[in-house]
Structure 1
Amino acid sequence: MSASLARLTAGGFSIGIEAPLDNDWTHAGEQARQQDGRLPGEPDLQRHAGLAQLADRLGFRALWVRDVPMYDPSFGDAAQVFEVFSYLGYLAGITKDILLGTAAVVLPIREPLLTLKSAATLQRLSGNRLVLGVASGDRPVEYPLFGRDFAERGSNFREQVALLRDGAQSGLPPGLDVLPRMAAPLPLMAAGLAQQSPAWIGARMDGSLAYPGTPEDHARRVAAWRAVAGDKPYATFIHLDLSEGADEPMQRWRFGFRGGRDALVEELAALRAAGVDHVGLHFRRNRRALDETFHEIAADVLPLFHA
């Protein structure tokens, strides 16, 4: 297991954060978006750097960013806006310990050698903090814009994984190389199945990035993952609205819930018992200030789970 994945799962379970660092999916957030003239699904990133540094200082294990190359109003989600490798390079420079994850880089629409060079650069400059989540993508409108065939994304994904695995050594003419060379293979986690069979993903990926769900959902998915991948890491995400009342009961919605700190602890414990190794918390629905929410989780939740 790579150093970054070993850190992700150290102690048997860990908690991270998923960008963007804004609660723009709330009523107040939507009002602010309209006043600012931002597009639907475009977060306010004025405080993203300070919040990333706060998450780092407070001991959250990883900060995850998505790869959304084109803004598509039919999806209404611009993710964290910035280009994924450029943004993680910036975050690497302003943080010290937090792992930097992609959830996930859409390989088939990217130039393979530049993806390799970008990932290797980020791994070197961050001090081996990169966890490279990869995917085949699910937005057909993007592929022709990049000169790629949506129908061939599965085979393209396999080819790019092979290139990332061997550092392009098997496909380069004699004498050429991609620098910086990697001291160890890049840690690859697959988002979903990426148009592959479960056996292929289990054998060739270092971990799984699973879609959000209930603990019961994850118990079934983890069992299927363990059957093809053994004890490789399994991570997922929760869309969280943490209420001020610690004992406020859980109200589930798609991909997450609203509830108090007690409900969050109960959910995380259930996910850990289901075999989940890491959970990234997503705060775009969170009605409270994010710094206040981060502090509460760091003080009263992280110590229960981070060894």
Structure 2
Amino acid sequence: MQSALDRLVAGGLSIGIEAPLDNDWTPDGDAARRAAGRLPGEPDLQRHAELARLADRLGFRALWVRDVPLYDPSFGDAAQVFEVFSYLGYLAGITRDILLGTAAVVLPLREPLLTLKSAATVQHLSGGRLLLGVASGDRPVEYPLFGRDFDSRGSRFREQVALLRGGAADLPGGLAVLPRQAAPLPLLVAGLAQQQPDWVGARMDACLAYPGSADDHRRRAAAWRAVAGDKPYATFIHLDLAEDPDEPLQRHRFGLRGGRLALIDELHALRAAGVGHVGLQFRRNRRPLDETFHEIAETVLPHFHAHTETTHA
């Protein structure tokens, strides 16, 4: 049976989706948010389960969720709102094939043994579909509220990674964290998590890179592979898919707008740059998300997933 990481990059490049499943960063979406009385950056969650099932049925490879413990009005992004492991457990129950990833769990804010138990639970309930993205966090305001020190988050990150890797094998008196895992949890690092590149490359199973152009990723992927070998490298695009398939590519912060032909060209360029997986985020997407999901599944995924599906069949 393929591991979740093997499935993520099978075929050379795969395409997933990043929650929240809402286009609330568009003018229409923001107007709807104001009318509903939601906070800035708080998405509409009415269709999240329906759209998650749709992404699963259409063959998107992974569904990514972020870990944002507290809403900060100065940051203005509530992510997908739900607590990350609770939400992953729910998603595991309503989907069948799609991989479930965190991008990324802020380890230093969490109690280590409960993090291990939560991740192991999701891995078990999902049938091995968890991709555990981890990070050190970048919001200083959160740390004192959790009784944690911001400046020492790097050392706390290393301690938690050691626990996740070791499975709490050194607990006294026969104590254990259940459910037990047949294999170590896959760890994907977002950024460097306050660590040296060599340390990250040796201990992490994959890299979650910030959005950028193909040239950006060519440099970053080369730096990753210099310390990590051929371990997977993934990134994200904030996508606004135009209705006109020929509309040329326009870049914006963290992503692009363009027709499907421009998207296909961009994905080919990312694959050539060493990217193994791209998660698409749709908060800037002006078209209905179900319509957009269908277009990508029917016209874009076959360029990248067809070999994998043929092999699996």
TM-score, scaled to structure 1: 0.99
Other-structure match for 2:51 = 51
Q: Per-residue displacement from partner, 1:14-63 (whole Å, max 9, x unpaired)? A: 00000000000000000000000000000001000000000000000000
Other-structure match for 1:250 = 249
Other-structure match for 1:201 = 200
Distance across 2 between alignment mates of 1:215 and 1:74: 31
User: In structure 1, the residue corresponding to 2:257 is in which secondary structure?
Assistant: strand
User: In structure 1, the residue corresponding to 2:275 is in which secondary structure?
Assistant: coil
2:171 counterpart of 1:167: no
Other-structure match for 1:279 = 278
User: In structure 2, the residue corresponding to 1:235 is in which secondary structure?
Assistant: strand
Report if aligned partners of 1:2, 1:185 keep a CA contact under 8 Å in 2.
no
Distance across 1 between alignment mates of 2:130 and 2:116: 13
Q: Give the C-alpha shift of residue 12 in structure 1.
A: 1.3
Aligned residues: 306
User: In structure 1, the residue corresponding to 2:174 is in which secondary structure?
Assistant: coil
Q: Per-residue displacement from partner, 1:257-280 (whole Å, max 9, x unpaired)? A: 110001100000000000000000
Q: Give the C-alpha shift of residue 66 in structure 1.
A: 0.1
Amino acid at match of 1:144: P
Distance across 2 between alignment mates of 1:36 and 1:294: 25
Other-structure match for 2:97 = 97
2:117 counterpart of 1:106: no
Other-structure match for 2:119 = 119
Other-structure match for 2:297 = 298
Q: Give the C-alpha shift of residue 175 in structure 1.
A: 1.0
User: In structure 2, the residue corresponding to 1:240 is in which secondary structure?
Assistant: strand
Distance across 2 between alignment mates of 1:166 and 1:156: 15
Other-structure match for 1:269 = 268
Amino acid at match of 1:177: A
Amino acid at match of 1:7: R
Other-structure match for 1:176 = 175
Distance across 2 between alignment mates of 1:58 and 1:153: 39
2:11 counterpart of 1:27: no
Q: Per-residue displacement from partner, 1:133-183 (whole Å, max 9, x unpaired)? A: 00000000000111000000000000000000010112x112100000011
TM-score, scaled to structure 2: 0.97
User: In structure 1, the residue corresponding to 2:168 is in which secondary structure?
Assistant: coil
Distance across 2 between alignment mates of 1:2 and 1:199: 27
Other-structure match for 1:228 = 227
Cα 1:98/1:210, change in 2 over 3 Å: same
Amino acid at match of 2:104: A
Q: Give the C-alpha shift of residue 2 in structure 1.
A: 7.1
Other-structure match for 2:38 = 38
Amino acid at match of 1:75: F
Q: Give the C-alpha shift of residue 227 in structure 1.
A: 0.4
Distance across 2 between alignment mates of 1:107 and 1:26: 32
Amino acid at match of 1:227: A
Other-structure match for 2:157 = 157
Other-structure match for 2:310 = none
Other-structure match for 1:61 = 61
Amino acid at match of 2:273: A
2:18 counterpart of 1:18: yes
Distance across 1 between alignment mates of 2:13 and 2:67: 25
Other-structure match for 2:190 = 191
User: In structure 2, the residue corresponding to 1:249 is in which secondary structure?
Assistant: coil
Percent identity at matched positions? 80
Distance across 2 between alignment mates of 1:287 and 1:64: 21
Amino acid at match of 1:109: L
Other-structure match for 1:260 = 259
My pick for the range that moved more, 173-182 or 208-217, is: 173-182
Distance across 2 between alignment mates of 1:271 and 1:197: 25
Amino acid at match of 1:160: Q
User: In structure 2, the residue corresponding to 1:190 is in which secondary structure?
Assistant: strand
Distance across 2 between alignment mates of 1:121 and 1:149: 28
Structural RMSD (CA): 0.9
Amino acid at match of 2:89: G
User: In structure 2, the residue corresponding to 1:222 is in which secondary structure?
Assistant: helix
Distance across 2 between alignment mates of 1:168 and 1:194: 22
Cα 1:2/1:71, change in 2 over 3 Å: farther
Other-structure match for 2:71 = 71
Amino acid at match of 2:72: D
Distance across 2 between alignment mates of 1:69 and 1:176: 29
Report if aligned partners of 1:2, 1:184 keep a CA contact under 8 Å in 2.
no
Question: Which runs of 5 or more structure 1 residues have no equivalent in the other structure?
Answer: none
Report if aligned partners of 1:2, 1:187 keep a CA contact under 8 Å in 2.
no
